[in-house]
């Protein structure tokens, strides 16, 4: 019993050294001392031991500001190939491994990464590779959470593409894993690395367009008639379809359910709401310093495209926040004039449009309210009277600024810098979990045809058990046991 305070202090000292990265050697010394003083009544749990030892040996690979990061890639699809390009151009990164379930893409990925890159048909073998210090996850959406969690537990830092999750509870698991294993996790919402975005945020927060009360977001195109209705069939040679499915429900292979087109099916994605809407909602949360709506109402469906997809080709979602509202709209079967496309903030002095190409402020004109009332043939006695000789003037100054940096390359740079410094990246897990939650609530509202009220403190849907059940989905075996084994 006399050793109890000393033993507890030893474990705490080891853990604090690991977190601060002050001295890996000292941390290992304290960890070994704590293990030597083991007794069944007092020693930390087996989980604590594994966490600590994983952190120690991961810490032994933590690099200095002048060292190189050994990077692996999981998924070599459209965005995965872009990430290989961006990270390959960084002078302090070595592309040492790539994994993909489709053998032709695995070969392409290895060739793009360079002659040193090892190829893995199973991402778990890449996570086992001790030479890999950090990973980039660019898989279909249904894999994002579990791969990130497994990478954290393997001692890897993670850059994971958006949307962060397939369902709300995954985000909580990811945040918990990153904290437990002391990992840096960057989310692929690349606008956060745009200089003009940061300038726009500062301008909006300064009150340049007045008090903001409304946000409009939209994405429109005409992709008629859709992507066809191919019959179910055997997967193509070289595709490990069972591993591609992973934790998703077992389904017969269909060409539209796999490479790229997976995003049109609920088993793997949230459609354009989570694909494109997440980018815009992320900026709304950033500007308005919020992390969740109070309520969401959404309507739409797959109303026009004549293919075998499931997620909405038409969707309107109204997000209610404290002090403002935000509206997302997307159309896949008519672009029209494109009015309402992109992102626009509305304030009491004007509005600002904001996109990857830049931003522009459109001032409203300062006109007496009574002069804005229609007159027709003139107001009868007692009606409002116009202000004579009133001169219209802008409420604020017009401003236009173009993009000045490469968002994807800058986001990659930020991740590598944070791997070295152990600082929080510009797109943090906690913030992006809130963004993903807003998107998921919109889809739940659409699918159940009713408004969702959200308790952001408890992270629960209020008064709707059926909707609450949709915050969680079961993983397919054996991946449910993999998750259970991580004890999140």
pLDDT digits (tens, 9 = 90+) for 73-108: 999 999 999 999 999 999 999 999 999 999 999 999
Which residues fall within 8 angstroms of residue 391, CB to CB, at 6 or more apart? none
Predicted local distance difference test score (pLDDT) of residue 65: 54
Residues 268 and 340 in one domain: yes
Instruction: Tell me the β-bridge partners of 347.
Output: 212, 350
Residues 147 and 275 in one domain: no
Say what percent of the chain tops pLDDT 70.
Answer: 86
Whether residue 379 is contained in a domain is answered as no
Whether residue 102 is contained in a domain is answered as yes
Given 12, 40, 59, the domain boundary residue is 59
Given 59, 77, 100, the domain boundary residue is 59
Whether residue 412 is contained in a domain is answered as no
Residues 326 and 395 in one domain: yes
Whether 26 shows a pLDDT value over 50: the answer reads no
In terms of Cα–Cα distance, which of 90, 108, 88 is closest to 98?
A: 108
Whether 127 shows a pLDDT value over 80: the answer reads yes
Say what percent of the chain tops pLDDT 90.
Answer: 80
Domain with 182 in it: 69-192+477-485
Whether residue 331 is contained in a domain is answered as yes
Whether 336 shows a pLDDT value over 80: the answer reads yes
Give me the mean pLDDT over the 309-322 stretch.
98
- pLDDT mean across residues, the chain: 90
Cα 320 to chain centroid distance, Å, stands at 21
Residues 230 and 363 in one domain: yes
Are 52 and 28 within 8 A, CB to CB? no
Secondary structure, 3-state, the chain: CCCHHHHHHHHHHHHHHHHHCCCHHHHHHHHHHHHHCCCCCCCCCHHHHHHHHHHHHHHCCCCCCCCCEEEEEECCCHHHHHHHHHHHCCCCEEEEEEECCEHHHHHHHHHHHCCCCEEECCHHHHHHCCCCCEEEECCCHHHHHHHHHHHHHCCCEEEECCCCCCCHHHHHHHHHHHHHCCCCEEECCHHHHCHHHHHHHHHHHCCCCCCEEEEEEEEECECCCCCCCCCCCCCCCCECHHHHHCCCCCCCCCHHHCCCHHHHCCCCCCHHHHHCHHHHHHHHHHHHCCCCCCEEEEEEECCCCCCCCCCCCEEEEEEEECCEEEEEEEECECCCCCCCCEEEEEECCEEEEEECCEEEEEECEECCHHHHCCCCCCCCCCCCCCCCCCCCEECCCCCEEECCCCHHHHHHHHHHHHHHHCCCCCCCHHHHHHHHHHHHHHHHHHHHCCCEEEECCCCEECCCHHHHHHHCCCCCCCHHHHHHHCCC
Whether residue 419 is contained in a domain is answered as no
pLDDT digits over 257-302, tens only? 999 999 999 999 999 999 999 999 999 999 999 999 999 999 999 9
Q: What is the CATH number of the domain that holds 227?
A: 3.30.360.10
Residues 249 and 318 in one domain: yes
Are 454 and 441 within 8 A, CB to CB? yes
Q: How far separated are the first and last CA of the chain, in Å rounded?
A: 31
Give me the mean pLDDT over the 60-74 stretch.
76
Residues 166 and 201 in one domain: no
Residues 271 and 365 in one domain: yes
Residues 179 and 225 in one domain: no
Whether 7 shows a pLDDT value over 80: the answer reads no
Residues 254 and 295 in one domain: yes
Q: Which residue has the higher pLDDT, 25 or 151?
A: 151
Q: Which residue has the higher pLDDT, 479 or 17?
A: 479
Q: What is the CATH number of the domain that holds 111?
A: 3.40.50.720
pLDDT digits over 437-462, tens only? 999 999 999 999 999 999 999 999 99
Whether 19 shows a pLDDT value over 60: the answer reads no
What whole-number distance in Å separates Cα of residue 65 and Cα of residue 477? 42
Whether 47 shows a pLDDT value over 70: the answer reads no
pLDDT digits over 407-429, tens only? 999 999 999 999 999 999 999 99
Are 429 and 306 within 8 A, CB to CB? no
Whether 33 shows a pLDDT value over 50: the answer reads no
Number of domains composing the chain? 3
Assign 41 a pLDDT band (cuts: 50, 70, 90): very low
Least trusted range by pLDDT, from 4-18, 64-78, 297-311: 4-18
Whether residue 86 is contained in a domain is answered as yes
Whether residue 50 is contained in a domain is answered as yes
Whether 208 shows a pLDDT value over 90: the answer reads yes
Predicted local distance difference test score (pLDDT) of residue 48: 52
Residues 29 and 130 in one domain: no
Predicted local distance difference test score (pLDDT) of residue 377: 83
Residues 284 and 398 in one domain: yes
Give me the mean pLDDT over the 365-392 stretch.
87
Given 59, 77, 99, the domain boundary residue is 59
Predicted local distance difference test score (pLDDT) of residue 34: 46
Predicted local distance difference test score (pLDDT) of residue 66: 60
| pTM (predicted TM-score) | 0.86
Cα angle: 219, vertex 222, 228; to 5 degrees: 120
Rg (C-alpha) for the chain, rounded Å, is 26
Whether residue 148 is contained in a domain is answered as yes
Predicted local distance difference test score (pLDDT) of residue 29: 47
Residues 184 and 200 in one domain: no
């Amino acid at each position: 019993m006399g050793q109890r305070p000393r033993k507890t202090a030893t474990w705490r000292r080891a853990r604090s050294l690991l977190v601060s990265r002050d001295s890996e050697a000292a941390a290992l010394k304290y960890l070994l001392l704590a293990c030597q003083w083991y007794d069944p009544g007092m020693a930390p749990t087996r989980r604590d031991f594994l966490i600590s030892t994983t952190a120690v040996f991961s810490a032994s690979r933590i690099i200095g500001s002048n060292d190189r990061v050994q990077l692996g890639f999981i998924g070599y699809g459209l965005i995965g190939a872009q990430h290989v390009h961006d990270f390959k151009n960084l002078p302090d990164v070595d592309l040492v491994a790539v994994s993909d379930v489709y053998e032709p893409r695995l070969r392409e990925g290895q060739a793009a990464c360079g002659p040193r890159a090892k190829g893995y048909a199973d991402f778990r073998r890449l996570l086992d590779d001790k030479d890999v210090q950090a990973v980039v996850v660019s898989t279909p959406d249904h894999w994002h959470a579990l791969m990130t969690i497994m990478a954290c537990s393997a001692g890897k830092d993670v850059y994971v593409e958006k949307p962060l999750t397939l369902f709300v509870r995954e985000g909580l698991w990811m945040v918990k894993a990153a904290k437990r294993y002391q990992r840096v996790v960057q989310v692929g919402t690349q606008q956060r690395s745009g200089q003009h975005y940061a300038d726009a945020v500062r301008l909006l927060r300064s009150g340049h367009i007045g008090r903001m009360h409304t946000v409009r977001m939209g994405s429109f195109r005409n992709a008629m008639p859709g992507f066809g209705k191919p019959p179910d069939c055997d997967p193509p040679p070289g595709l490990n379809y069972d591993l591609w499915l992973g934790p998703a429900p077992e389904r017969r292979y269909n060409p539209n359910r796999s490479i790229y087109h997976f995003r049109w099916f609920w088993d793997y994605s949230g459609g354009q709401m989570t694909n494109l809407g997440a980018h815009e909602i992320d900026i709304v949360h950033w500007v308005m310093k919020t992390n969740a709506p109070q309520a969401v109402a959404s309507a739409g469906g797959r109303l026009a495209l004549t293919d075998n997809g499931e997620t909405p080709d038409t969707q309107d979602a109204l997000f209610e926040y404290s002090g403002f509202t935000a509206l997302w709209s997307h159309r896949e079967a008519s672009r029209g004039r494109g009015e309402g496309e992109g992102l626009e903030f509305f304030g009491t002095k004007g509005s600002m449009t904001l996109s990857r190409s830049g931003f522009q402020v459109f001032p409203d004109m300062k006109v007496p309210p009574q002069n804005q009332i229609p007159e027709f043939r003139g107001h009868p006695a007692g009606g409002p009277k116009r202000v004579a000789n009133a001169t219209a003037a802008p409420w604020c100054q017009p401003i236009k600024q173009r993009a000045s940096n490469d968002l994807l390359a800058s986001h990659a740079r930020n991740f590598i810098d944070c791997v070295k410094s152990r600082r929080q990246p510009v797109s943090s897990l906690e913030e992006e979990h809130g963004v993903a939650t807003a998107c998921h609530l919109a889809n739940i509202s659409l699918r159940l045809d009713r408004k969702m009220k959200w308790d952001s403190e408890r992270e629960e849907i209020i008064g709707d058990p059926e909707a609450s059940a949709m915050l969680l989905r079961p993983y397919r075996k054996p991946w449910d046991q993999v998750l259970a084994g991580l004890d999140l």
